Amino acid sequence: MFEDFLKNQGSWLSGKGPESEIVFSSRIRLARNLSNLPFPLKATLKQKEEVLKQVKEAYACDKKLSKAQFIKLEDVDELDRQLLLERHLVSQEYVSSVKGKGLILSSDEEISIMINEEDHLRLQVLASGFDLKRSWSILNSIDDNLSRKLPFSFLPDLGFLTTCPTNVGTALRASCMMHLPALILTKRINKILELLTRISFTTRGLFGEGTQALGDFFQISNQVGLGLSEDELIENLIGVVNQVKGQEIDARETLLKKHKLSLEDNVWRALGTLKNARLINSKEALSHLSILSLGLDLGIIKDNDLSLSAPGRELLNRLFIILQPAHLQKIEDKPLSERQRDSIRATILRERLS
């Protein structure tokens, strides 16, 4: 199935979701634990295997999961585990060890369930664009169906019990991956990030906790799930994302009004670099792709400037992912040194941006 990742584009990468020019993707995640077994940090391998067994027997009760694949992580090699991480389907913590872990994954990559990560279950829906409400509707239905088959750990006064205290309550984490290049170029981003922290929202990088904001991407999510309903948490995030989006739009308008020539120069120089480079690392590639994405949004470049064979937005979204190290090694079907990856990354860019 991992070879299919190179052929197919997950639905969340399509760039066809609502307001996807700024909100790259939306994610809703739920943490759940089984009441009849110790939480993963205290569980033995045998007990983790029992969790895998119970979940495997239960997950097909949901129509959307009936054709999903069940994968034991110990059957997945290190490269394919990194591939899953680069596609935002699993967490860094999850792939660091393999024993007693499993993954349920839909063919379009919209739904994934990590088994025996920090909690027994981490259920996730990942969608293109600003699509939190539809994502929650899908995940809520899956959660309801699984709860009829599995004994979730729940207390009336506290809600769902989780390993991390900040997840207790709804155990819901909602997030949006936002592309904010204009806020960076106008040097407004730090004030925005400071404000988000003060109002109890968390900001992470492109690949989640502990990662950098590569390609001008920032993942914004709620910090706690106790004391508010799921709908309230999602509405709060929608409000915050709309405010940040408004700031990014304002910054883009400022760039066009006051610095248009410099912006156009940056966009066309980025395109020239990517079309001609022979060696390029992932950080530089993502930086240039970010500027191209901004240029496409603002009409500085057109789809035909990027490619005659694919829509510009879809192409750029795909490049953001397939230029990552594990994807390059999967494409070449062999381990690659850093310099080899830089060379192949440049070759792919020249071929795709033609």
pLDDT digits (tens, 9 = 90+) for 61-80: 888 998 899 999 999 999 99
Question: Which has the minimum average pLDDT: 130-144, 259-273, 296-310?
Answer: 296-310
Structure confidence at residue 80 (pLDDT):
92
**Whether the predicted pLDDT of 212 surpasses 60:** no
Bigger pLDDT: 227 or 115?
A: 115
Most confident of 47-51, 220-224, 311-315: 47-51
- Range in 110-124, 129-143, 221-235 the model is least confident about: 221-235
Chain-wide mean pLDDT for the chain? 91
pLDDT tens readout for residues 155-170: 998 899 999 888 889 9
Q: Are 274 and 280 in contact (CB under 8 A)?
A: yes
What is the average per-residue pLDDT within 257-275? 97
The model carries a pTM of 0.90
Q: Which domains are assigned to the chain?
A: 4-252 (3.30.590.10), 260-352 (no CATH)
The answer for 14, left when phi > 0, alpha when psi is -120 to 50, beta otherwise, is: alpha
Q: Give yes or no for residue 6 having a pLDDT over 80.
A: no
Q: What DSSP state is assigned to residue 34?
A: B
Answer for the pair 289, 320: CB distance below 8 angstroms, yes or no. Answer: yes
- Given a cut of 90, whether residue 261 has pLDDT beyond it is yes
Give mean pLDDT, residues 139-150.
96
What is the average pLDDT across 238-251? 97
Which pLDDT does position 210 carry in this prediction?
A: 45
Bridge pairing between strands 23-32 and 121-128: antiparallel
H or E stretch covering 126: strand 121-128
Return the pLDDT at 311.
Answer: 81
pLDDT tens column, 103-130: 999 989 999 999 999 999 999 999 999 9
The tens digit of pLDDT for each residue in 162-202 reads: 998 888 899 999 999 999 999 999 999 999 999 998 888 98
Rounded to a whole number, what is the distance in angstroms from the first to the last CA of the chain? 29
- Rounded to whole angstroms, the maximal C-alpha distance in the chain is 64
- pLDDT value of position 92: 86
Lowest mean pLDDT, pick from 56-70, 85-99, 204-218: 204-218
Looking at mean pLDDT, say which of 223-237, 265-279, 306-320 comes out highest.
265-279
The pairing of beta strand 23-32 with beta strand 172-179: antiparallel
Class of residue 243 by CB neighbours under 10 A (exposed 0-12, middle 13-18, buried 19+): middle
The percentage of the chain sitting over the pLDDT mark of 70, rounded to a whole number, equals 95
Between residues 312 and 213, which one has the greater pLDDT? 312
Q: With 60 as the cut, is the pLDDT of residue 243 above it?
A: yes
Please check the confidence at residue 22 and state whether its pLDDT lies above 60: yes
